[in-house]
Each structure stands twice: as structure tokens, then as C-alpha cells.
Structure 1
Amino acid sequence: MATNFELLCLIFSVALSVLLGPNFATGSSIGVCYGMVANDLPPPREVIDMYKLNQIGRMRLYDPNPEALEALRNSGIEVLVGVRNEDLQQLAGSYSAAENWVATYITPYSLQVQFRYIVVGNEVFPGNSARYVLPAMQNLQNALSFGDIKVSTSIATSVLGVSYPPSAGAFSQDTIEYMVPIAQYLNNIGAPLLANVYPYFAYIGDPIDISLPYALFTSETVVVTDGGLSYDNLLDTMVDALYAALEKAGAPQVQVVVSETGWPSNGNGEVTTPENAQIYNSNLISHVLSSRGTPRRPGNSTESYLFAMFNENMKPGAAVEQHWGLFYPNKSQVYPINFPVKTLSTKLGFRNLCNGLYNQLKVHLESIFMVIIRM
């Protein structure tokens, strides 16, 4: 049996390493999506170094790329890791498949990679695979028998049948049979709903009724009044429509995480310039770091992920699809952008720091206690 002194030393050493180690390195709370639909990108280890150099504290991976996961070890970067849409059916129909997925892509890295969420499918609704999302989420969540990793799924705002005014937000008839049970499941497990929210597409779809300043966060006046709530930017309007839909679905506690947003720098005339992309993304960063929240959910930052790290030369579709990157594949910036550090200057900030330390310690100490029990 180990002595009490030895056990205390072990626990203290782990606590100290977590507190002083890379997981609490200074960095922005903004994330950036690491897309790989290109044939000219730098290797993952260089990409991780770029995240650290630019103080980007969070990353979204669209699939559990082993080379990227290896490079993320001890980086301190929190990661959203995706489940491929084509894997949903198997994971929904077999708990053992979910266990194997976790054993392959999560467990080997769990002590050195900070997994934030498992993203079960991307923009699946509506579609033939929609019925597989919830059972796949449930199987994967049950297979995650350690730590505090939550599952979710990433939706497009097209799941809404009504989005204006924001308070009228409601899921569409095509998606409601899937979205309501998913929303209620997320509410029960304390997980957020991830949403890809693009004011750019809303603007180009209706440039008469939507002004460019409203889409770019540069409006100097209130543009939309909804009851007692006032909106001066389009992103908040779109996010609050999702909150209204979640409330109607019986999931009032679910937070919305913006899992993709951004503005292309080329491909659609004067709308898609590097200047507009810089304005939108810089203002989005400032908005998130202000902790202003949205009018419907004030006072809490909307966790957000910019799309994307690189211009991706093999993305199909319209010309703009290859011009969402903050960086060119040669690692030079498409336009200047900074990721300022959010300081912990309030009691709430310190409490969040303590909560983060507790959650990370819990993962490490669970492993230690299992060793102790066997002594």
C-alpha cells in the first residue's frame, strides 16, 4: 500500500503540473476551424505551432485526424473533434462501434489533449442521415466513461422554419421531429447545441432588407427591435432565433455555440474583399471577448469558431468557398487579424479559472485513484 504522504505528493504534483502547464497557457478564447480540404496545406505540427503563435486557444477538427491529434498533445489547445457524417449510421446502430470509436480516437490522447466536445455530424438536418444523429450521440456519450467530455451535433441555421423576428424562432417542419429530441437530450446532459451561423449568406440572400453594416457589426444604431430587445448586429439576431427555438422545444438551458462563422475574402465582387473579411472577423472577436452575450442571453460570451484557418483550394461549390481562410497555405496572413487575450479581471473570471482547473484535475485524478485502488 502507498503511504498517505506518497499519495499526497502524487496528487500535489499532478495539480501543480496542470495549473502551471500548457493547459493554462495564456491564449484567446476564440476558436478557429482547421479545415483540410486542400492539397497544399502545411503539416499538422506546423499548424498547431501557428495556433500557439497566434494565441488561438481553441480548434475545431472536422474528423479525428490522427496526425492532428498527435500534434495537439500537450499543446494546451482545446479541441472540438468531429464524427464524420458517413460514420453516423454505424455508431447509431452499435454501442460497440461507439466504444471502439472512443477507444481509437479519444482514449489514447485523453490525458494530453484537451477535448472540449465531440461533434456528432455536421449539417445533417434535414437529410437521410438525420435519424442516426441522436442514437449515435447517446452511444458515444455512454462510451465516454471518463472526464467531462460532452457530445453534441453541428447544425446549419436552415433548421429553422421561422427566424424573424428572433423571438419567433422555431424549428422547421422538416427538422422538428429530430431537433426537439436532440435539444431535450442536450438539455438533460448539460451540453450545448453547435450551430454554423453565417451573416454573410443571410446578407447576400437579402441585400435589400439586410444592410452590410448590420452584417459586419458596424451599425451605429439599433436595427431590429423585438419586444424589449434591441439588435445592432445580425449574428446576435440569428443566434437568438436559435435560442427561441430551443425554448419552444423544451430545452431552455441549452447554450448555443457558434461552431462556424466568418466572411470570405474573395469570390463575390465587392462584398468579399479582404477588408470586409477583416472587419467581420475582428469585430466578431471583440464581440465575443466583451462577454456581452446576446440580447436574449446577455452577460455570457457566445463561444465561437472562425471559419477557417486556411484558404482551401479543393473545396467544391461557388468561388467564395475557397476563400474563407485567415491564412494562405504558405502560412502568410490573408489580412491582419489579432487574437487578444481575455484577462481574468473579475471575480467571475477567477471563478471560471477555478472551475477549469477543477475539471482538468478531475480527469487526471480519476486515473490516479484507479491506480491507488489497485495498490
Structure 2
Amino acid sequence: MQLWFQYRPWKAAALADFSNPNRAPLARDAQPVGVCNGRNGDNLQSEQDVVTLFRNKGISRMQIYDPLQATLEALGGTDIELMIGVPNEALQSLTDQNAARTRVNDNILRYPKVNFKYIAVGNEVDADPSKESSQCVDFVLPAMQNIHNALKDASLDGPIKVSTATYTGFLDNTSSPSGSVLKGNVQGLIEPIVKFLAENKLPMLANIYPYFGYLGTYWLIIGLQATQLHKFGVPTINLIAAI
């Protein structure tokens, strides 16, 4: 399973501290643990059983990658916070405001008893032409804007935050946080997204995979993400990491 954690707004002066796993303030900044509820597998439990498991184990946050009616119905009336995804293949259609409004109506407003927290519009869309997701590059920001506008129309842009999931594959020179840079073909994608997030006080989502390298470099990877946001001139923004 993947775990996702929320970190309190970081400031430029504290960036270096993210590379130190023993940094004392992290204890008071800690957030509840959430678990990704993926449905790509065999012999899976029912969604009601999954929600019961979350509650029995004290897991207070869940992420799903696309809206599933059974999951949303099972979550109704619970206190579990939900991050709901928008698949990459849906992004192009959401460049139309009416389509975005319909998606919010069908998957958010229809479930008033679900504790929605975040909408992740697209997952690891990469400008690298060798990546399949590169076909979606032009759709990410307009889709995010339209979903945000649909939430605003419903007066839900406060409790429900819109973002997109990035990952460390966007970076070069990752041996040092201060020396890391965005890959050239990614800058045109990420910079306007970060500007939109900062203007609307929305978080950045980042998928982190420490098990692909040394586990001891996890906090270094977080530092890389934070350093890049600072380079865009964003002094304070939430960074939410999935590992």
C-alpha cells in the first residue's frame, strides 16, 4: 500500500531541515496517516469491508484514484478524509467547464456525507515525449482550473482543495536539494501549475518512491521537492507526499 502524509506549510528558511529525519519540529508537524485504496487486484474485499478496516485501525485518510460509487457510498457518514483522483484519460474532457461541473456534481455533490479533502487532477503527467502521459500536458492546468471553479460555484473551494500529483522524475541533479533543477521539458508544465496553486492557496501533491533507492534518502527527496517550489518564488505552500 501507499501512504500519504501532509506537511505543514514550509518556509524557505526551513528547507534545509527537510533533509534531516531527526529534525525535532517534524514531530509537532506530523499529520494522520492515510492509505491509498487501489482496486487493481484479485480477491479484493468489498468497499464496505475496506472502510470498516480503516475505522478499526484508526486510519483517518483514504486516497482513491478514480470515483467508484461503492467506495463513496461506503464512506458516507464516516469521518475518513478522502483524496479522490481524476484519471489522466479524463483530463481532456475537463478542459470544458460544463464537463468539469458535471463531474463535480456526479462525484462530489451527489455524496454530501463524504468528507472530501482533495481532488488530484491527473497523476504524474510528464512532458517527456517518451511518456504516455505527455499527451495530457496541455489539459492538466485547464482541467484543474475548471474543477476548482466548479467547486467555487458550489461554495466548496474552501474545504476541498484541487491539485495534481507530481513526482521526482521531474527533477535532474538530485544528489543535492540545493542543486536540483527541473528537467527542461517539464518547466513549461509545472511553473504555471505552481503559480495557480500559490494564487489559490492550494497544495502541491508529490508521489515519492523511496523504496526505489535508499530508504535513508527519503527526507532528501522531500527537500528536493520543496527546493524546487522555492525556486519558483513561492514562499509558503503545502507539500503533500505519497510514498
TM over 0.5: yes
Measure, in 2, the Cα distance between the counterparts of 1:44 and 1:138: 30
Measure, in 1, the Cα distance between the counterparts of 2:179 and 2:192: 20
2:141 corresponds to 1:134: yes
2:128 corresponds to 1:120: no
Aligned-partner residue type, residue 125 of structure 1: D
Q: CA deviation at 1:170?
A: 2.4
Instruction: Map residues 145-156 of structure 1 onto 2, 5 A cutoff.
Output: 145=152, 146-147=155-156, 148=158, 149-156=160-167
Query: Once the two structures are aligned, what percentage of the paired residues are identical?
Result: 36
Q: CA deviation at 1:155?
A: 1.3
Q: CA deviation at 1:162?
A: 2.9
Q: CA deviation at 1:200?
A: 1.0
Corresponding residue for 1:351?
none
- Which range is displaced more, 76-85 or 153-162? 153-162
Q: CA deviation at 1:248?
A: 0.9
Q: Secondary structure at the match of 1:75?
A: coil
2:186 corresponds to 1:179: no
Measure, in 1, the Cα distance between the counterparts of 2:39 and 2:151: 26
Q: CA deviation at 1:95?
A: 0.2
Contact 1:195 1:256 in 2 (8 A): yes
CA RMSD of aligned residues (A): 1.2
Q: Deviations over 1:25-57 (max 9, x none)?
A: xxx810000011013101101100000000000
Corresponding residue for 2:207?
196
Measure, in 2, the Cα distance between the counterparts of 1:236 and 1:165: 11
Contact 1:192 1:255 in 2 (8 A): yes
Corresponding residue for 1:257?
240
2:99 corresponds to 1:88: no
Q: State the aligned residue count.
A: 203
Q: Secondary structure at the match of 1:194?
A: strand
Measure, in 1, the Cα distance between the counterparts of 2:238 and 2:82: 18
Q: Secondary structure at the match of 2:110?
A: helix
Contact 1:170 1:242 in 2 (8 A): no
Measure, in 2, the Cα distance between the counterparts of 1:97 and 1:63: 16
Corresponding residue for 2:77?
74
Consecutive aligned runs of 4 or more in structure 1 exceeding 4 Å deviation: none
Contact 1:163 1:169 in 2 (8 A): yes
Contact 1:161 1:173 in 2 (8 A): no
Aligned-partner residue type, residue 107 of structure 1: L
Measure, in 1, the Cα distance between the counterparts of 2:61 and 2:86: 18
Instruction: Map residues 182-331 of structure 1 onto 2, 5 A cutoff.
Output: 182-203=193-214, 215=215, 233-258=216-241, 260-261=242-243
Aligned-partner residue type, residue 208 of structure 2: V
Give ranges in structure 2 of 5+ residues lacking alignment. Answer: 1-30, 128-133
Q: Secondary structure at the match of 1:124?
A: coil
- The structure carrying a bigger strand percent of its residues is 2
The structure 1 residue matched to 2:110, chosen from 108, 117, 132, is 108
Q: CA deviation at 1:168?
A: 2.1
Measure, in 1, the Cα distance between the counterparts of 2:36 and 2:165: 13
The structure 1 residue matched to 2:49, chosen from 39, 46, 56, is 46
Contact 1:243 1:256 in 2 (8 A): yes
Relative contact order, higher structure (CA 8 A, sep 6+) = 2
Q: Secondary structure at the match of 1:32?
A: strand
Aligned-partner residue type, residue 99 of structure 1: R
Q: Deviations over 1:142-178 (max 9, x none)?
A: 0003232110001121011232211223221121101
2:168 corresponds to 1:157: yes
Q: CA deviation at 1:253?
A: 1.7
Q: Secondary structure at the match of 1:106?
A: helix
Contact 1:88 1:120 in 2 (8 A): yes
Q: CA deviation at 1:192?
A: 1.0
Whichever of the two has the greater Rg, that structure is 1
